[in-house]
Amino acid sequence: MKSSKIIVQGSQISIILHKGDDDFISLTDMAKFKDRETTGIVIAHWLSTKYTIQFIGAWEKLHNPNFNYGEFAIIKSQAGLNNYKISVKEWVQKTNAVGLRATTGRYGGTYAHKDIAFEFGMWISPEFKIYLIKEFQRLKNEESERLRLGWDVKRALTKINYRIHTDAIKKHIIPSQVLKQQADIIYANEADVLNMALFGKTAKAWRDKNSAKDGNIRDYADVTQLVVLANLEGINAELIKQEIPQSERLVQLNQTAISQMKSLIDNPSIKKLK
């Protein structure tokens, strides 16, 4: 889970970013645009309207298998009546809702799934909603581009290191005057040493199980795996120069892959690229 912020008509809005499409936007920050002093009351007024209850009820039906329809029916029958109010905390407790959250601590405040937050933005003002969606989409586009560039850089790094790897194979393993077809087999065989050490399977084994996918096993590696793969290519090149047998190299490379994956899996710098 990561957090970010956008500016909408001069108001700073916090966003909790999740993998996939389940980002949550701070209603508390949005409510400050309408009234900085009574954000809780602003949210409660919005939540108590009949339209709001109908909308978020429909959203919960679509996304939440544990939604309490009995309690929802009671709330819907009262929504819109004079002096009827319900808080986010009460709504969540009574209906088991997942689209709204009242949190404390670092990400304290009331948050809503982006679908619901956009509706709250409309209640604040149509213009506010338009700018909210625009800034949110800009943030998501920037995040997507950053992830793509991070993955591309690491993929390019493994390709650069692979040249060092193949040069070592060419110099120390391939006999002189070998046919190109024979050389290709040796290169592929050595590439699979790395695949086995890191992924636990050969390129062919991966293709056999993923025949519907384009590309190869390395195209579907995550950033952490690509970092380790780049390291393994350099290490294997040195082991080849030392004329260490392939079977021994595989064992060493596998041990290195395990050790490095354990070290990098929770590394903050790596997480920034994911």
Q: What is the mean pLDDT of the chain?
A: 81
Rounded to two decimals, what is the model's pTM?
Answer: 0.54
Among the candidates 124, 157, 182, a domain finishes at 124
Q: Are 13 and 116 found together in one domain?
A: yes
Long-range contact list for 238-247, CB < 8 A, 24+ apart?
A: 238/168, 240/168, 240/169, 240/172, 240/173, 240/190, 241/168, 241/171, 241/172, 243/172, 246/190, 246/193
Q: Are 181 and 117 found together in one domain?
A: no
Among the candidates 89, 124, 159, a domain finishes at 124
Please give the pLDDT value at position 149: 53
Is 166 domain-assigned? yes
CA distance 67 to 98: 8
Among the candidates 92, 124, 156, a domain finishes at 124
Is 230 domain-assigned? yes
CA distance 7 to 255: 48
Domain residues for the domain of 102 are 2-124
Point out the least confidently predicted range of 29-38, 174-183, 223-232. Answer: 174-183
Is 201 domain-assigned? yes
Nearest alpha-carbon partner for 258 in 170, 185, 199, 192 = 199
Structure tokens at 236: 């294997």
Please give the pLDDT value at position 175: 46
Is 137 domain-assigned? no
Please give the pLDDT value at position 227: 82
Identify the residue with better confidence: 143 or 112: 112
Average pLDDT over residues 121-135: 93
| SS3 of residue 270 by DSSP | helix
CA distance 148 to 152: 6
Nearest alpha-carbon partner for 35 in 23, 43, 25, 24 = 43
